[in-house]
Amino acid sequence: MRFHLSRFAVATRFTLVEHGRNRFAMVLVAVFVPVWTTLAYLAMPDTPARMRLRATGETLAPPGNELTEISGALNAVTLITGFMMFAATFSGSGFDRRLAMAGYPRAHLVLAKVTALALVSAAVAAYATAVTCLAWTPRRPLLLAAALFCAGLTYGALGVGFGSLLRREVEGMFAIVMTSIIDLALQNPISSSGADNPVMRHLPSYGAMQASTAAGFSSTPVPGHLAIQLGWFAAASLIALVGFRRSTRNSLPPPAARTPGPGRESGTSGLPAPRRAATPSPALSETEAH
């Protein structure tokens, strides 16, 4: 158990260090979230926008600027988590492969990435919720934070998937931005006359959009829509996992017996002295393809 915990802890620590040193992402979090959400709130008219909330079946008439602000917060959170995870995956796939081939358990690396994604999503969602609460008061801020968190998780996993499958950085950035824009613009009743269309149910942030709108303007519980969003997260994670497995595969099976390296385990700690006899290991492994 200690073995697993220490490997998980080391991988998580360094994954978080990597995210923390992504200065551009930090600036995006600090500036983009408040600027985007505040502009959406201030620039849009506060006239009531009639809409039917599918999650509860209610017909609501929330102020247009508050509705757009929620959409802006979702857009900011999804772009930031998607970008952060894409950037880390794209630049780090060779390094992950090297670690895996050196013997780092891939399960621990994956768990570390999921943990980092959850922490990043939670922090960005909490921050976006706090910024929202400065401008107006959603009915259920915790539900709003939960919806933003689930959307962040989903786009983070999509970012990992894009990072594993796409070959050029610009392709991944474009994929994330366009996915988020299409996804959210189509669902916004202010900008899209088709926001009541059944097709909307199949968009990646449908669950989060419904839950966050309910958080803003309704008191009816919507656990099913958070579950839909988590379903999207699971599907995106599966794609990401397949990409990760593909990019870290090793065609050589590990040796049958592990021989200890330098250090206390082997009783040696220095560089080998010249003219010392070798002790070849009897364990052989083999890869074969025909």
User: Which residues in this chain contact another protein in the complex, by CB under 8 A?
Assistant: 6-7, 10-11, 14, 17-18, 21-22, 91-92, 94-95, 97-99, 101-104, 250-252, 255, 258-265, 268-290
Instruction: Return the number of other C-beta atoms located less than 10 Å from residue 9's C-beta.
Output: 13
Residue among 197 and 285 whose Cβ is closer to another protein:
285
Smallest distance, another protein to C-beta of residue 12, A:
12
Smallest distance, another protein to C-beta of residue 21, A:
4
Smallest distance, another protein to C-beta of residue 254, A:
9
Q: What is the spatial distance between Cα 6 and Cα 226, in angstroms, rounded to a whole number?
A: 33
Its sign, for the CA torsion 270, 271, 276, 282, is: positive
Identify the DSSP state of 58: E
Q: Provide the CA 189 distance to its chain's centre, in angstroms.
A: 26
Residues 6+ apart with CB under 8 A from 9: none
Residue among 57 and 263 whose Cβ is closer to another protein:
263
Smallest distance, another protein to C-beta of residue 96, A:
9
C-alpha distance from residue 106 to each of 45, 110, 258, 281 (Å): 50, 6, 18, 25
Residue among 170 and 273 whose Cβ is closer to another protein:
273
DSSP per-residue codes, 175-223: HHHHHHHHHHHHH-TTT-TTTTSGGGGGSTTHHHHHHHHHHHH--S--H
Smallest distance, another protein to C-beta of residue 239, A:
23
Residue among 167 and 264 whose Cβ is closer to another protein:
264
Residue among 43 and 271 whose Cβ is closer to another protein:
271
Tokens of 40: 């959406």
